[in-house]
Structure 1
Amino acid sequence: MAGVVGERMVPERRTARVGTVSGLALMTGATAMAAVGGGHHSVFATVLLALLALGMAHAFTVEIRRQAHRRAGHWCRHDMVNTVLLAGWAVGSLAVAVLPYPPVPVRALGLLLTFSYGAACAYFVAERRRAIAVSLPSASAVSGSSPV
């Protein structure tokens, strides 16, 4: 993520990555699924898995923000792959939610994950578009003249 040093903004210099966003999305969903439908856990184990899933959800949103605010000033292949994978995880969790076989808590979590992955996909697209718009030079900066 871009940071502030003194009075100036330091841009993010990381390269585009696909595995981190998708991997964190899957690990978050799988940990939540293990907490809800993993069999006969103790209350302590269920709470611990739920807290781990919340921590990974935070890391997931931070990584989305980092990937969206990269230095590249255009939409690239990595952005499309991240968007398609997040949308694919939303569709996959919707399939879990609509199947009649899983127990009700697992189906409810599948529905929650569907909305969460869809929101993450929309958040990534919105943040990436905002970062691209900010990185594009304005017309007055390109022409070298100041508006009077």
Structure 2
Amino acid sequence: MRDRRQARIGTVSGLALLAGATALVAVAGGHHSIFATLLLILLAIVMSHALVVEIQRQARRMSQTVWYRTDTANTVLLGCWAMIAAAITNVSIVSLQVRALTAVLAIGYAAACAYFVVERRRAVAEPFRPSPVPLAEMPGVVLAEIPGVTLAEMPAAAPLVESVIEAGREVVPDSAPSS
């Protein structure tokens, strides 16, 4: 199911930065108890999941059916975060734990960027088709004869009603007057 909300830039980028910053605090935030460290790692994992869900929602939205400037902005920002994390990996003055984490973040941001591009291009390529619901199963729809109106006078409904008749379903209820 596609999401009907508008395109946003800050949510994808903000979640990406929050997940990375939370992981960074867990690794290099100073002297934490084991409980605080595990809690920060768990929070970073949950925020990473929220980032993936937000990427899916932004990529599969139906408010714009073409590649839009917000898609470019989200892609560029995720790519920038990946390059910045990769650059920090090569800085020798930071600790080994931070360098390892920024390497993981660089890979994660690059994967998130690629995932967004693939999902958005897939969503743009396929046209939106609402799921077909049989007329008899729609709430509030009663298939019955309308007095004085034939199927020839309703050409749009004729194939649908004829297919229901061919399927062996009862189109006219027993209580309807027959003409």
For the pair 1:38 / 2:29, whether they are aligned, the reply is: yes
Shift of 1:35: 0.3
For the pair 1:97 / 2:89, whether they are aligned, the reply is: yes
Report Cα offsets for 1:33-84 as digits up to 9, x if no partner: 0000001111111000000000000000000000000111100000000000
What residue is the counterpart of 1:8 in the other structure?
none
Amino acid at match of 2:123: A
Q: Kindly, what percent of the aligned residue pairs are identical?
A: 55
More helix by share: 1
Structure 1 ranges of 4+ moved more than 2 A: none
Residue number among 53, 62, 83 corresponding to 2:53 in the alignment:
62
More strand by share: 1
Give the gaps of 5 or more residues in structure 2.
130-179
Matches within 5 A, 1:1-148: 2=1, 11-71=2-62, 72-135=64-127
Shift of 1:135: 2.0
Q: Tell me the distance in 2 between the aligned counterparts of 1:94 and 1:46.
A: 24
What residue is the counterpart of 1:7 in the other structure?
none
Q: Tell me the distance in 2 between the aligned counterparts of 1:25 and 1:45.
A: 21
Shift of 1:136: 6.8
Amino acid at match of 1:13: R
Amino acid at match of 2:108: S
Amino acid at match of 1:113: L
Q: Tell me the distance in 1 between the aligned counterparts of 2:29 and 2:117.
A: 33
User: Which one has more relative contact order, counting CA pairs under 8 Å at least 6 apart?
Assistant: 1
Q: State the TM-score, normalizing by the size of structure 2.
A: 0.70
Amino acid at match of 2:109: Y
SS in 2 for 1:135: coil
SS in 1 for 2:17: helix
Question: Aligned Cα RMSD in Å?
Answer: 1.1
| Greater C-alpha Rg | 2
Report Cα offsets for 1:75-103 as digits up to 9, x if no partner: 00000000000000001111111100110
What residue is the counterpart of 1:140 in the other structure?
none
Amino acid at match of 2:93: Y
Q: How many residues align?
A: 128
